Amino acid sequence: MTRPANPLAGLGALVWLAVVLVPVYVMLSVSLTRQDEALGANALRPPRHPTLANYGTVLDNGFGHFLANTVLVAAVVVGIVLVLCVPLAYVAVRTRGFWSGAAFRLFLLGVAVPAQAVVVPLYLMITKLHLYDSLLAVALPTAAFAMPVSVLVLTGTLRDVPEELYEAMALDGASPARMLFRLVVPLARGGIGTVVVYASLQAWNGFLFPLIFTQSEDSRVLTLGLFTYVSQFGVDIPALLASVVLSGVPVFAVYLVARRTLVGGLMGAGGK
Amino acid sequence: MRPARGAGRPHPSWALPAVLFFGLFALVPMVLAFGLSFTTWNGLGEPRPAGLANWHALLTDGRLTRSLTVTVALTAVSCAFQTTTALLLGVWAAGPQRNRAVLSAVFFVPFLLSSTAVSLLFYALLDPNFGIVPGDTLGTTSGAFLALVFVGGWQFIPFHTLIYQGGARQIPEVLYQAAAIDGAGRLRRFRSITLPQLRNTAATSGVLMVVGSLTYFETVLILTQGGPGTDTAILPYLMYESGFKAYDFGYASAIATFLVVAATALSLLLVRVTGFGAMRSTREGM
């Protein structure tokens, strides 16, 4: 690389570093502060008597259970999205008929439709299907709303599979299903990885569907758990911030291990 | 694209399960929302026909206009803030600095928290009795508005930075070398090479920002509850409040229908601007 470094841009990057780090620092430091010490104190000062008690409070209040629910929802969402979208993308790329084109365009149109737009009728449907207050009530619509972008990402990747490889397999008499599992899926690993990242983030972030379609603590996912901590902990801001820190730990762990996949996947989701 | 040849193509019906599933949980509800907008329904019992009452109310009571104004303003200011910052950071991060990789990793941290977690963090940081910002930021109209812009940016700038970083990496090095030979300064190179080359990246990122700003719902619900007054009640929040707080689901459905129409227009724009719809290999031209 011969591109010269830019000192002014470097300075800007440092400013942004502060913007990112100050809230993160306060979050960590206050989460380690005793509640009686935190009130009225300068939030920027490091804790005098660091304590893990706030984390204990959060863990004692269902955190593990909420996290497990979120992981379960994410797994179901990723499963549904892959099982449904890979064949669709395969059809969209490999056939040229009216129906496959129409199916693809349907998902294109769905890209921008926000979940908020359908939450009232979905509430009616979920109630009629007797799914209200279950994890499925969260997972099914979340999967549906993760599908448009997943279809775009997958068709983008599948188009890169060279025609010659299909032809070679066709000469060997391979069925479309065999091509899907032996050729398309292995070669589309990148796109599939992107979709896994994207769909799990949707489930991880999901707030509206859990808020409206669940009620009891049994089916509460993590985002909603955090939200209920606000009223539960009241002015106990150290405990609240400890819950925020804890909620970031799982993704941060994944990020440290799979930084390349995660970042690459998100770049893909951004639609290059 | 070569003409279709040879056997071994999947039957179009393979697409059917996806279409049916998406139809059931996304398309049927959209149609239902339109239907429900002509009813009165309090969430219990059955919806009752109400003719054009909800639509009449929506278009005349001024709430839609106010909410639309806030939504557009919030989207516009957020996009300006996020685009400027992400563009500069992304171009910087695509450069050769030695500390770049470490800093880029740190910059990414806010994106790892869910919107709910980020909103709660700033709920604590902006608390008048506790926080690091003096005064009751969320109690004033401009304070609440700017807080939403900042919190949204804090969370999503990492994502857009990533997109710009990817875009800036694709700019051919020879362009810069040629410009350097011609004696073009740093600013000139940025303006005449970097910016024009990032046009498509900016379009993609921009449209995703506009679409994403509709998901500010959590942030609004947790930070401002649409307040002070209704000054930060963006459309999705107005829908939520009318439906799930005031139990006026007919009115909420009318807003939802309005949202669907706006979003469909947006997604048509998305398809046009980014070329998502074009059936072409992403490897072309590489």
The per-residue pLDDT for A271 is 40
Token pair recorded at residue B51 = 């003719």
B40, β-bridge pairs: B48
Which position has the token pair 């500390």? B99
Nearest CB to B166 within list A207, A229, A272: A272
Q: What percent of chain A has pLDDT over 90?
A: 46
Cα-atom radius of gyration of chain B, to the nearest Å? 23
Does residue B171 register a pLDDT over 80? yes
| A2/B29 Cα distance (integer angstroms) | 54
Query: Mean pLDDT, to the nearest integer, of B184-204?
Result: 86
Query: Residue B198, SS3?
Result: coil
Burial tier of A142 (Cβ tally within 10 Å: 0-12, 13-18, 19+): buried
All residues at 6 or more sequence positions from A16 whose CB lies less than 8 Å from its CB, including other chains: B85, B89, B107, B157
Q: Which of B9, B125, B154 sits opposite A95 (nearest CB)?
A: B9
Measured CA angle at B212 (ends B209, B213), to 5 deg: 85
CA B259 to chain centre: 13
ipTM for this model: 0.89
Calculate Rg over the CA atoms of chain A: 23
How many Å separate Cα A37 from the centre of its chain? Answer: 36
Confidence class of residue A129 from pLDDT cuts 50, 70 and 90?
A: very high
What was the pLDDT predicted at A266?
66
User: Is A228 buried (19+), middle (13-18) or exposed (0-12) by CB count in 10 A?
Assistant: middle
Q: Given CB atoms, is A234 within the 8 Å cutoff of chain B? A: no
Residue A243's closest CA among B117, B110, B219?
B117
The CA dihedral of A39, A43, A45, A47, to the nearest 10 degrees, is: 50
Residue B186: per-residue pLDDT: 84
Give exposure, B263-276, as e/b (b: 16+ Cβ within 10 Å): bbebbeebbeebeb
Q: Please check whether residue B163 is in contact with residue B90, taking contact to mean a CB–CB distance below 8 angstroms.
A: yes
**Closest B-chain CA to A103:** B19
With an 8 Å Cβ cutoff, is B172 touching chain A? no
* Contacting residues of B for A1, CB less than 8 Å apart: 95-96, 173
Does position A94 have pLDDT exceeding 70, yes or no?
yes
More confident residue, B199 or B6: B199
Instruction: Kindly report the average pLDDT of chain B as a whole number.
Output: 85
Residue B7, pLDDT score? 57
Q: Which residues contact B213 (CB under 8 A, 6 or more apart)?
A: B71, B74, B75, B78, B79, B152
In angstroms, the separation between the Cα of residue A234 and the nearest Cα of chain B is 11
Of A24, A40, A205, the CB nearest to B115: A205
| Local confidence band at B94 (pLDDT 50, 70, 90 cut-offs) | confident
* Cα–Cα distance measured from residue A79 to residue A73, given in angstroms and rounded to the nearest whole number: 10
Q: pLDDT for B26-38, tens place per residue?
A: 989 999 999 999 9
Residue at token pair 């921009």: B206
Residue % of chain B over a pLDDT of 70 = 93
Average pLDDT over residues A68-78: 97
Beta-carbon pairs below 8 A across chains A and B: 331
Residue B3 has pLDDT above 60, yes or no: no
Of the listed ranges A4-8, A161-165, A228-232, the least confidently predicted one is: A4-8
Greatest CA separation found in chain B? 76
pLDDT tens digits for range B126-149: 988 777 787 888 999 999 999 999
Beta strand segments in A28-132, E: none
For B47, the closest chain A residue by CA position comes to A124
Average pLDDT, stretch B206-220?
84
Name the average pLDDT for chain A: 87
Q: Tell me: pLDDT of A136 over 90.
A: yes
Which residue on chain B is closest to A1 by alpha carbon? B96
Interface residue of B120, B126, B132, B160 to substitute, partner A, most A CBs within 10 Å: B120
Least confident of A22-26, A185-189, B273-277: B273-277
Q: Whole-angstrom Cα distance, residue A246 to residue A244?
A: 5
Rounded mean pLDDT, A60-87: 95
Whether the predicted pLDDT of B80 surpasses 90: yes
Interface of A with B in 164-193 (CB under 8 A): 166-167, 169-170, 174-177, 179-180
Classify A133 as helix, strand or coil: coil
In this complex, is the C-beta atom of A253 within 8 Å of any C-beta atom belonging to chain B?
Answer: no
| pLDDT, tens digit (0-9, with 9 covering 90-100), for B231-247 | 999 999 999 999 999 99
pTM: 0.88
**Residue B23 pLDDT class (50, 70, 90 cuts):** very high
Residue that has been written with the tokens 């947790």 in this structure: B222
The backbone torsions φ and ψ at residue B49, rounded to the nearest 5 degrees and listed phi first, read -60, 140
Decide if A67 contacts A250 (C-beta within 8 A).
Answer: yes
Over residues B72-89, mean pLDDT: 94
